[in-house]
Chain A
Amino acid sequence: MIGKLIKHDLKSGARRMGNIYLAALIASCAMIFSAFIESGFVRFLSTLVVIVVAFVAVIMTFASVVFGANKTLFGREGYLTQTLPVRTSSLIFSKWLTSSIWLLISYAFVLVAFVAIFFYWTTENQEGAQIYDMIYSVAQSFGLGAETVYQKTLIIQAVIGLFNMCIFVMYILFAITLSNISPFHKLGTMGIIIYLAVVIFAIQGISYGLENLCDVTLLVEQSGISMTVSETAIRQAEMTGASAIGLTGVYFKTIVTVFLYILTVQLCESKINLK
């Protein structure tokens, strides 16, 4: 059943967001074709369109994830969703997974669009290579050493970024659920944004405090990757060009996300009244 839920949630997302991604595809194609037209204005215009569409895609996807989940779980469509012969934990997991996928797609699209624009404007005069060198130099001035360290750090940070996005989706689902139960429902749709902000600030605050208490750190060195809690070891490693990535917050947020998932399921099973 969980597979069917995921399939239908992905389809439902595609129906809601299909038009914006179709526009994104057309804009991207227009940009590619404009490369064959020797007109600076056309190149500029097509680039601008891709940038605008990319940002609109992110905003629309976010809005669609928030309001789509609210509508399908607790709005009118909830009469279908909540009467399916599936466990509430499966319903929430499916929403979490598919929402994360859609947000990832939107961010991936922005990333690809900007990389494409970068190469689009720099391939003719080797500016691309120059900019890469410049970024690398700036990174070195911030303490990053060898190129391999730089690359490994980027990959790890990207993975943590994706992970944080999935965690963020759980915050959204929890905020939506909270805004649909008594007495929290009194704030209406606005409540979703308020509860989301409260959850984010509370978790970030606690995470920051825990990092100060015990900072579990991943050291990315040329020779390999290691983990430490020793500040001396971190300083020594950084002096040799290693990069230090804090993990305390990641661990804490993982635990909080699991807790919020269980709490969301419990609230759905005991407190929800479909209107």
Chain B
Amino acid sequence: MNDIEYAIKVRNLSKAYVKGRPVLDDVSFDIPAGKIVGLLGPNGCGKTTLLKILAGCIHDYEGKIIVGGTAPGVVSKSETAFLPDTTYLSEYFRTIDAIDYFNDFFSDFDKNKALEFVKRFNLDPKQKIKTMSKGMQEKVQLLLIMSRAARLYLLDEPLGGVDPAARENILNLIMSNYAERSTLMLSTHMVNDLEASFNHVLILGHGKVLVNTSVDNVRKSGKSLEDVFKEVIGNDWEVD
């Protein structure tokens, strides 16, 4: 199997923000293309760091990363849609400015689809980001990402700040709008809510990959994803 059949190949990846305390410690794994991957693990296990490295936001790491056949760079960024767990749009942007911005830079961006989302979310295209609630800002960011036909989607806690009523809608939006045959990696703590959506799971803990397998394999063992999660994470799960 060559690099391109894998969405992500990671070899001996290590990253430490403080010397001697690695967040990711000599991690190696492959993610096959076309999967919906649940990235799970307790707080501080390196989920966000991993997603940032894959997206090209962190450069200071050791090891080798291949995203869609190339190292993180111009090509991988053109094929990767990254949703960080923070508001990243300029406060001076209006929704329509953000849409135009994405339309200018990403050839896979569908402006009409984005405008449809704006209507569906009852957003005012001329409202400035800084006057929006956190929930509205998250919706704008999500619609921008999901209006792309990317080969790889990296979503960091997209359901983290969302109330339970809106959670299902957002989850449906993600699952029904990501481009076909592309790979979707989604970090979350909501193992139960999302178990049915994943077909692959990557569990991180103590700086290592604890589980990297298909959800079918998990089910074959007669366990639920949550059982496996609790089993491998142990006491960290309770702290979480």
Contact = CB atoms under 8 A, between A and B. Distances in A.
A178 to B, nearest CB: 14
B22 interface: no
Given A77-B89, A85-B75, A85-B78, A273 B105 contact: no
Contacts of B86: 76, 79
Interface stretch (B57-65, B159-167, B172-180): B57-65
A80 B89 contact: yes
Contacts of B74: 85-87
Contact of A78 (B57, B80, B101, B106): B57
A227 interface: no
Interface in A219-273: 268-273
Interface in A64-118: 72, 76-80, 82-87
B17 interface: yes
Contact of B92 (A4, A16, A79, A83): A16
B84 interface: yes
B77 A84 contact: yes
Given A8-B104, A272-B59, A83 B80 contact: yes
A272 B60 contact: yes
Interface residues of B, number: 25
B90 A79 contact: no
B57 A274 contact: yes
Contact of A274 (B52, B80, B89, B101): B52
A271 B60 CA distance: 5
Contacts of B55: 83
A83 B77 contact: yes
Contact of B60 (A1, A77, A85, A273): A273
A273 B56 CA distance: 9
Interface string A15-54: 1100000000000000000000000000000000000000
Given A8-B101, A87-B74, A82 B87 contact: no
A77 B88 contact: yes
Which one of B57, B58, B75, B90 has the greatest number of beta carbons of chain A within 10 Å?
B90
A270 B71 CA distance: 13
Nearest to A85: B78
B198 interface: no
B176 to A, nearest CB: 24
A181 B92 CA distance: 27
A12 interface: yes
A84 B73 CA distance: 9
A4 B105 contact: yes
B59 A271 contact: yes
B46 to A, nearest CB: 13
A83 B60 contact: no
Contacts of B87: 76
B82 interface: yes
A1 B59 contact: no
A212 interface: no
A182 interface: yes
Nearest to A8: B101
A83 B59 contact: no
B104 A4 contact: yes
Contacts of A1: 105
B105 A86 contact: yes
Given A4-B105, A8-B101, A12-B92, A85 B58 contact: no
11 contacts: A4-B104, A77-B88, A80-B90, A80-B101, A83-B82, A85-B78, A86-B74, A87-B74, A181-B60, A272-B59, A273-B58
Given A8-B101, A84-B105, A273-B52, 15 more contacts: A76-B86, A76-B87, A77-B90, A78-B57, A79-B57, A80-B90, A82-B57, A85-B78, A86-B74, A86-B105, A182-B60, A270-B59, A271-B60, A273-B58, A273-B59
Interface of B: 17, 52, 55-60, 74-75, 77-78, 80, 82, 84, 86-90, 92, 101, 104-106
3 A-B pairs with least C-beta separation: A85-B78, A79-B88, A15-B92
